[in-house]
A = this chain, B = another copy of it.
Amino acid sequence: MNEPKKTPTIQDVARFAKVSTATVSRALSIPSKVSEATRARVSEAVRVTGYTLNQTARSLRQRTARTILVALPDIRNPFFSSILDAIEREATLRGYGVLVLNLYFGRQTVVQLRDFLLSNRADGLLLLDGAFDVSQLQVVDEQRAPVPVVVACEEIPKSGFHTVLTDNGEAAERATRHLIDLGHRRIGHLLGPEHNIVARERHAGFNRALEKAGLKPVAEWCLRGNFEMESGFAAAGRYMSLPHRPTAFFAANDESAIGFLSGLRQYGVTCPRDISIVGFDDLGVAPHYDPPLTTMRQPREALGRMAAEALIDMIEDPNMLPSSLRIVLRSELVVRESTGRPAAPDDGAPS
């Protein structure tokens, strides 16, 4: 009685209910195909034996794992974690499990990711990283059925994957435009990581806004950064050493904007009096920072949810989606107190 009992299987249920395993299986998954009486006997048997489905066995037979794999660069990043959250909700709703995989390790992880997918542990991949080199992920043109993939957040240019993302370039343009509308003429940009596609798009959007307003981009006003607070903090020093300083900055994201502001405080530069800053992401802390941060809010929940939806749709019916799906979600400017009119009348680029 106290020995480690084996977990009950469908065989045990069948024996107890005096039916075949086939009938038990049907009673549980297609009740309409089984008579009332049998169904009751099976239910009772399940109750008594304490039977629970062995998902592994089902997966093997049905060739589906009812699991999706989410690969992302960094779970700690609040931007990703809130998307992951939305993905998890949607997946759970539709009966899918969520496997997560960090992508720190570069090359090694590619192999791992590939094996993961090809090992039937997951039915599809949700990739949250455009920097990822997909050519190494020989999942597509392999001599086997293609694995469903959806790329979210960042676009992988000619990969042909379904994509769900936000309007990074356009949003950056609007953020910058906001600064211009306030009267700023000397506007700088705190860059994101050099090889990150999202960062590049935001940079491009920034440039477009300047151009449309007839402002010349000034190379020294684009300060190096990498989305992290420390990089913004470090950029403050470089800002101070500029001969002709911008009165406003568009930061590639909120984190670097916060680091930047924090660094500027060290030099006695106050926002928005001396400088205006607009960020990107609308992190949770943005409204409670000092000053509350003007920023572009990305629809993170929608992004995660729609990406998960698309992936699961594709898994459940590969023909359901159009050959190439590309959803672009619109970000929203949230004006708070980190942006204002420039102190002095402003005459544009340095002489």
Contacts and interface: CB of A to CB of B under 8 A. Distances in A.
A5 interface: yes
Contacts of A84: 75, 100
Nearest to A51: B118
A22 interface: no
A258 interface: yes
A47 interface: no
A32 interface: no
Interface stretch (A56-64, A167-175, A205-213, A323-331): A56-64
A139 to B, nearest CB: 11
Nearest to A232: B288
A233 B288 contact: yes
A285 interface: yes
Contact of A145 (B4, B115, B145, B229): B4
A220 to B, nearest CB: 24
Interface stretch (A85-93, A193-201, A245-253): A85-93
B88 A102 contact: yes
B81 A92 contact: no
A144 B6 contact: yes
A116 to B, nearest CB: 7
A158 interface: no
B121 A229 contact: no
A350 B84 CA distance: 48
Interface string A227-247: 001000100000000000000
Interface string A259-285: 101100100000000000000000011
Contacts of A101: 88, 92, 97-98
Interface of A: 4-8, 50, 52-57, 59-60, 65, 67, 74-76, 78, 81-82, 84-85, 88-89, 92, 97-102, 104, 112, 115-116, 118-121, 142-145, 229, 233, 255, 258-259, 261-262, 265, 284-285, 287-290, 292
Given A56-B59, A56-B121, A84-B100, 17 more contacts: A4-B145, A6-B144, A7-B145, A8-B144, A52-B119, A55-B119, A55-B121, A56-B65, A75-B84, A75-B85, A85-B102, A92-B101, A229-B284, A229-B285, A229-B288, A255-B284, A262-B288
